Structure 1
Amino acid sequence: MTHKQKAEQSITQPSSLSVPFFWPLQYQQAMIEEGMKVASDNIKFVSEEMKLEHDLTPKLATPNTLRLDLRTMALREYGKPVEGNIPTLVDAPHAGHTSMIADYHKGQSLIETLMANGHPHVLLTDWKSATPDMANLEVDNYLEEMLTVIEDLGGKVNLVGLCQGGWVSAMIASRFPDKVNSLVLAGAPIDTNAGDGPIKNMAQESPMSFYEDMVATSGGLMPGRYMLQGWKNMHPEEHYFKNYVSLYEHIDDPEYLSKEESFESWYENPIDLPGRWYLQVIQQLFKENRFAKGEFVGLGRVLNLNAISCPTYLLAGKDDDITTPEQVLAAEQLISTPAKDIRKKTVPGGHIGLFMGSRTLRETWPEISQWIAKQ
């Protein structure tokens, strides 16, 4: 073989020495690069997890103004009054979380959906966290402030009650039927004896001393963090494992992180409740079911659901384990609204999805909004 042929062979057929020598170096470099990516992701994950747990505060997604600043709530105003138009008042849940659930995220907001479907003037009860001087407030105090809001809006509203805001709305409609033009009860526990959900069972099986002790050891308040821990423990795998896995898998997805931050700013920042109010609700509504039985006294009178005769829409979640569908839909048999003026719907999903789920906001709430606008 000539020198030229040997040279060509060295070019076209690499030496066998290059195989064991080159590939380990390439593999090592790949490991370094992958290791750097893992390290980077780990740093992002820890930083984001700390942010989600500790650094976020709830913010309403849609521009609004403060119309009233009351003791129990700030009344948020969206849009402006329109002559001849009855305003729509959204009574947000008052069960340990802020009212952000009704105005969660741009493109995923009940307030936004209402305004886009026939409601130029929408109001939201933005409930305040209870302070020690509010420990002795009762249900009546909250009904009084709801009445103040309605009077400030002209004396008549379309009332949209979400979860516990639903039974408050139903109480207002029972006590002052002429002030409610239409009523929407979404995920609202009206008949708390109906169905077989974990909240019903816990309320009925746990002695009052259990709830009284929690309030007594917290200076007369029911701390939101206690309730948050209870909700998490209902689905421990989801809250203590799946959420972290999902966060890690989407650590480089800005859209996912934006929505996750919105959710956690709401979920991880619970509000405190007046202890006396809380114990009254547990005893009289969830243990004794007085409202559904026509035995609850509100603002000096026994409240009877049969006094409600306005058009009513009942919305329930098929898999709702906070307020089972039976607790919502039972209202149909308790109010006096004619059958032709009652709408009812059970949609896929759980409790929170009724108010902030993208599917329900896209497929169901536009229909409800348009129905309200026709009343």
Structure 2
Amino acid sequence: MTAAGAHSSPENPTASYIEESVEWLQAAAAPWSPSPSRCLVADFGLCQLYRYPALVDTDTSTSTIAARNVLFIVYAMVNTASILDLRDKLSIIQRLQWLGLTIYLMEWVPPQSSQSNIGLAEYLEQSLHRCVEKACQDSAADRLNLMGVCQGGVFSLCYAAMYPERVRSLVPVVTPINFHTENDTLSRWVRYVPLDELMVSGMNIPGQMLAQVFIMLKPMSLSVKKYLDIAKRSRQGTEDAEIAETFMAMEQWIHNTPDQPAACFKDFVEKFYQQNALYHSSLHLAGRAVDLRQPNIPTLNIYAKNDHLVPPESSKALQELIPAHCYHSLEIPTGHIGMFVSQKSLNYVPQAIADFIRQV
């Protein structure tokens, strides 16, 4: 008989397989590295411009790159553009390269405290406009096909309205247009953020604070559930190295949320989320009217059917603003991030983009 109160604790199987799965995942963690084919074209301080050359030569009759084979990508300031080139088999950029497109990617540089007072209009002038001009020079193209992702899609649409002579076609992807749709949880939150209380002289908006906001939109599935799911896979013996490497690459991307330039962030929230100025055609930047009804630029609007960050209704509102003969759309049965990492999307979206810009 054992001593009073003494007993052997039964093994906790749940804790055991979670510990095992943690070891499995930690072993798969590796720093992100971009495609070896990319090279730096220009560094403008606020942003950097990279070129990813086509991996298939489609311009055999000339030494220059045909405009139909050049795609300029504008990503959002939130998170990083590495999601577009996450891993060898999960890279929408690589898929586009293999379709014969030369890609120019504008990457935002995390802001310094000295840049906290730069507003949205100045940011776009000093970054996006300069990168487009440089990409035109580098590719010998007069106009570019612009693909914008989420907030970057908003930037690309604004740019096209301000500089239509530089834009050949537009491909906004998971891009919000009407920021006041009924099922837009993020918008309902952001509309009532006391922006002045967030603004501290010489300080930017912490990226980790924004990361937590995005997680709280789907707290269970974006936190507890995904860890239990991956632990379950480990327990079932499906410890495939590729599964673990992809999971950890996604985790690193999710939590690598750079700080946001304070004045630019404030301008964006006020003009788009609070005033809904883009949708109401009342937006002005750098003294220019930003009216999407004016430029006649062929547009392929790609949105995700199950998007919890940018509801489909928000993206589809673009059809109300762009001339009918210029508007084309494509709905993909995936979520916001699935647009760039799900195999179904990767097997279809890059080809649709390539076909569209070559038919313009």
* Aligned partner of 1:309 among 293, 296, 300: 296
Relative to structure 1, is the Cα distance of residues 101 and 316 closer, same or farther in structure 2, using a 3 angstrom cutoff? same
8 Å contact 1:161–1:168 — kept in the other structure? yes
1:212 corresponds to: 196
8 Å contact 2:117–2:202 — kept in the other structure? no
2:331 corresponds to: 346
2:222 corresponds to: 239
Other structure's SS at 1:200 match: helix
Q: CA RMSD in A?
A: 2.5
Alpha-carbon offset, residue 237 of structure 1: 1.2
Relative to structure 1, is the Cα distance of residues 198 and 61 closer, same or farther in structure 2, using a 3 angstrom cutoff? farther
Q: 1:103 & 1:84 partners in 2: Cα distance?
A: 22
* Aligned partner of 2:21 among 33, 45, 53: 45
Deviates more, 1:81-90 or 1:300-309: 81-90
Alignment partner of 1:289 is 2:264: no
Alignment partner of 1:262 is 2:249: yes
Alignment partner of 1:272 is 2:259: yes
Alignment partner of 1:92 is 2:75: yes
Relative to structure 1, is the Cα distance of residues 212 and 56 closer, same or farther in structure 2, using a 3 angstrom cutoff? farther
1:108 corresponds to: 90
Q: Deviations over 1:99-130 (max 9, x none)?
A: 112212212211112112231x1111111212
- Which is higher, the Rg of structure 1 or of structure 2? 1
8 Å contact 2:117–2:264 — kept in the other structure? yes
Q: Deviations over 1:59-93 (max 9, x none)?
A: 33463111111222121110169615122101112
The within-5 A match list for 1:218-233 is 220-233=203-216
Q: 2:291 & 2:18 partners in 1: Cα distance?
A: 57
Alpha-carbon offset, residue 373 of structure 1: 2.3
8 Å contact 1:250–1:257 — kept in the other structure? no
Other structure's SS at 2:278 match: helix
2:130 corresponds to: 148
1:3 corresponds to: none
Q: What is the letter of the counterpart of residue 230 of structure 2? A: L
2:115 corresponds to: 134
8 Å contact 1:162–1:355 — kept in the other structure? no
8 Å contact 1:195–1:324 — kept in the other structure? no
2:7 corresponds to: none
Q: 2:26 & 2:301 partners in 1: Cα distance?
A: 39
Q: What is the letter of the counterpart of residue 34 of structure 2? A: L
Q: What is the letter of the counterpart of residue 355 of structure 1? A: F
Q: 1:59 & 1:40 partners in 2: Cα distance?
A: 32
8 Å contact 2:174–2:310 — kept in the other structure? yes
8 Å contact 1:78–1:123 — kept in the other structure? yes
Q: What is the letter of the counterpart of residue 252 of structure 2? A: S
Q: 2:184 & 2:350 partners in 1: Cα distance?
A: 25
* Aligned partner of 1:70 among 20, 23, 44: 44
Q: 1:292 & 1:248 partners in 2: Cα distance?
A: 44
Relative to structure 1, is the Cα distance of residues 367 and 276 closer, same or farther in structure 2, using a 3 angstrom cutoff? same
Alpha-carbon offset, residue 284 of structure 1: 1.1
What TM-score do the two structures reach when normalised by structure 2?
0.84
2:64 corresponds to: 83
Q: 2:174 & 2:160 partners in 1: Cα distance?
A: 17
Deviates more, 1:152-161 or 1:173-182: 152-161
Q: Count how many residue pairs are aligned between Structure 1 and Structure 2.
A: 330
Q: 1:126 & 1:270 partners in 2: Cα distance?
A: 13
Q: Is there any run of 5+ residues in structure 2 with no aligned partner, and where?
A: 1-10, 137-141
Alignment partner of 1:172 is 2:159: yes
Relative to structure 1, is the Cα distance of residues 57 and 307 closer, same or farther in structure 2, using a 3 angstrom cutoff? farther
Q: Deviations over 1:162-181 (max 9, x none)?
A: 10000100011000111100
8 Å contact 2:170–2:297 — kept in the other structure? yes
8 Å contact 2:303–2:315 — kept in the other structure? yes
2:178 corresponds to: 191
Q: 2:15 & 2:276 partners in 1: Cα distance?
A: 55
8 Å contact 1:319–1:348 — kept in the other structure? yes
8 Å contact 1:57–1:266 — kept in the other structure? no
1:324 corresponds to: 311
Q: 2:260 & 2:338 partners in 1: Cα distance?
A: 23
Q: What is the letter of the counterpart of residue 83 of structure 1? A: T
8 Å contact 2:25–2:245 — kept in the other structure? no
Q: What is the letter of the counterpart of residue 296 of structure 1? A: L
Relative to structure 1, is the Cα distance of residues 170 and 42 closer, same or farther in structure 2, using a 3 angstrom cutoff? closer
Alpha-carbon offset, residue 214 of structure 1: 3.2
